[in-house]
Structure 1
Amino acid sequence: MSWSRVFVSDYFPLFVLFVATIPLLAGWLCYWVAMRPRLVAVFVPRDLQTSYLGALTLPFALFLAFMVSDIWSRENRYAQTVLQEVQKLDAMLDVARVCGPSCQPIDDAVGAYARALSLREWDEGWVRPHLDVSTAFDGLADAIASAEADATVPIHIRNVMLASQLDLRRLRTDRYFILHADLAPHRWVVVMVLGLLSLIGLAALHVGKRYQLMIGLSTFAIAFSMTLAYTVLLAWPTVDESIVPSDQLRRVLE
C-alpha cells in the first residue's frame, strides 16, 4: 500500500477536514502558550524586530505559492490527458460502427472500458490502476485481437484499432505519471513546518496581548487552514467535465 492510498480513500473528505483543523489547533496552542503568566513575565516582545515575522512568513508564502502553481499545472495536464482519452474512445466508436456487425464486440468493449474509467479512475481520489479498469481494458484488447483474426474486417480498420489500443494504454500510463510526479511527501512536511513556524513568530510578537493575539493568530490560522485544505483537494485531480464536450462524453459512456 502506497502512502497516498492511506490518505485517499472513501474517507478523503474526512482527511481534508482533518488537515484543515491542524492550523486552527496550532493557532489555539500558540495563543494558549503566549498567554501563560510565566512566559509573559520573562518574554519581552518589543525586543523582536518586525522583520522577524517576515523572515518566517516569506519562505512559507513563496514555497506554498510555487507548490500550488505546480499542482495547477499538473491539473491542466491531467485534464488534457483525460480529454485525449475521451477523443480516442469516441474515434474508436466511429471506426467500429463503420466496420459493422463484425466490430460490434469492440463497440461494446469500448463502452465498458469508458464506463470503468469514468467510475474508477477519472474520479477524484484515484491513485493507482484499478482492477476493474484493467479487466475492462483486457476485454477491449481481446475484442481487438478477435477482430485481427477476422478476415471480414478490413485490414486498415484492424490497424486503426490496434494503434488506438496502444494509445489508450499510453494515455492511462501518462495519467498515472502526472498524478504521482509531484506528490512527494516531504513537500507537505515543509509547508506544515513553515506554516507552524509562522504561527509561532506571530505569537512571539504579541506575547501577553490578548486581542492582538486573537486577531493575528485567528486570521493567519484560518487563511492557512483554507489554503492547505484547498491545496490537498487539488493534489488529487478529477476530470472536469466542462472541458469535455457533453455530447462526446455521453456518447462514450452510454
Structure 2
Amino acid sequence: MTWSRLFVSEYFSVFVVFVATLPLLAAWGCYWVAMRPSLVAVFVPRDLQTSYLGALTLPFALFLAFMVSDIWNRETLYARTVLQEVQRLDAVLDIARVCGPSCAPVDDAAGGYARALSRYEWDEGWVRPQPEVSTAFAGLVEAVARSSADAAVPNYIRSTLLASQIELRRLRTDRYFILHADLAPHRWIVVMVLGMLSLIGLAALHVGKRYQLIIGLSTFAIAFSTTLAYTVALSWPTVDESIVPSEELRRVLE
C-alpha cells in the first residue's frame, strides 16, 4: 500500500499532528465565513430547525464510533498474534533443547528470529515485510532443514519443528493482514467529509453570533481533532511487549 508507506515512518508523529490541525483550521474557516457581513445580511439562522444539526452530526458520530471500534478490535488481534508468536518460539526453544546438540542450530536461529521480530516489527509497527526479519526467518528454515536431515533427530521432533516453522510463517502473515485489512483510505475520507459538514451545520445555526460561534465551533473542533488524531495513532499498532509474560519474553530474546 503506497499511501501507507508515505505516512508510517519516522515522521508519523508529524503526520498525526497535521491531521489533528485540519478540524481546527476548518472551524476557523467556518467562523470566518459565518461572520462575513455579506452573509450575515442575507442569511437567517432561525429559519433552520434544530434537528438540522443532529441530522449531520449523527452519521458522523456513528461512523466514527464504528471505525474506532474496528481499530480497537484489530489492535487486540494484533497483540494476540504477537503473543502467539512468542509462545511458538518458546516451544521451538524447548524442542531444540530437548533434542540436544543436533538441534543447536535451531536454538540459535530461533533466538535470532525472535530478536529480529522484537527490533523491527513488534516494536516499530510494520507496513511491509522487513528484510532483516525475512533474513532471520530464512536462517531458521535452514537450521530446521539441517537438523531434520540429521539421522540422530527423532521423527517426532522433525515433524514438530517443521510444524512450528510453518506456524511462525503463518503468524507473521496474519500480522500483516490484520494491520492492513481495515485501513482503506475511503474510510478516512468519509470521516473528514462528515466532520466538515457538521462544522458547517454548526456554523449555519449561529451566523453572525460571535460568542455562540466561538464556543460551538471550538468545542466541536477540539473534540473532532482529538478523536481523529487518536484514531490515526491507533491505526498503526505498536504492540507493547508488556502483554507478553516477562520471563517468557526474556527467554526467547536472550
TM-score for the superposition, normalised by structure 1: 0.97
Aligned counterpart, 1:175: 175
CA contact (8 A) 2:109 2:143 kept: yes
98-107 or 220-229, which moves further after superposition? 98-107
Q: Deviations over 1:33-69 (max 9, x none)?
A: 1111111111111111111100000000000001111
Letter in 2 for 1:89: L
Q: Deviations over 1:150-191 (max 9, x none)?
A: 112222211111110000001111111111110111000000
Q: Deviations over 1:103-137 (max 9, x none)?
A: 11111111111111111111244111111111110
Determine the C-alpha separation between the residues in 2 that align with 1:124 and 1:111.
Answer: 19
Determine the C-alpha separation between the residues in 2 that align with 1:19 and 1:79.
Answer: 26
How far did 1:243 drift? 2.1
Determine the C-alpha separation between the residues in 1 that align with 2:72 and 2:237.
Answer: 9
- Is it true that 1:134 corresponds to 2:134 in the alignment? yes
CA RMSD of aligned residues (A): 1.0
166-175 or 150-159, which moves further after superposition? 150-159
Aligned counterpart, 2:208: 208
Determine the C-alpha separation between the residues in 2 that align with 1:250 and 1:222.
Answer: 42
How far did 1:253 drift? 1.3
Determine the C-alpha separation between the residues in 1 that align with 2:124 and 2:42.
Answer: 50
- Is it true that 1:252 corresponds to 2:245 in the alignment? no
How far did 1:91 drift? 0.7
* 1:168 counterpart SS class: helix
CA contact (8 A) 2:123 2:240 kept: no
Ranges in structure 2 where 5+ consecutive residues have no aligned partner: none
Aligned counterpart, 2:144: 144
Count of residues in Structure 1 that have an aligned counterpart in Structure 2: 254
Determine the C-alpha separation between the residues in 2 that align with 1:181 and 1:70.
Answer: 10
Determine the C-alpha separation between the residues in 2 that align with 1:153 and 1:220.
Answer: 66
* 1:121 counterpart SS class: helix
CA contact (8 A) 1:16 1:232 kept: yes
Aligned counterpart, 1:159: 159
CA contact (8 A) 2:19 2:228 kept: yes
How far did 1:242 drift? 2.8
- Is it true that 1:82 corresponds to 2:82 in the alignment? yes
Letter in 1 for 2:229: A
Aligned counterpart, 2:98: 98
CA contact (8 A) 1:22 1:225 kept: yes
Letter in 1 for 2:116: A
Aligned counterpart, 1:235: 235
* 1:49 counterpart SS class: coil
CA contact (8 A) 1:9 1:125 kept: no
Determine the C-alpha separation between the residues in 2 that align with 1:93 and 1:133.
Answer: 18
Letter in 1 for 2:78: Y
Aligned counterpart, 1:39: 39
- Is it true that 1:192 corresponds to 2:205 in the alignment? no
Ranges in structure 1 where 5+ consecutive residues have no aligned partner: none
Q: Judging changes above 3 Å, is the alpha-carbon distance between structure 1 residues 125 and 35 closer, same or farther for their aligned structure 2 residues?
A: farther
Determine the C-alpha separation between the residues in 1 that align with 2:15 and 2:123.
Answer: 17
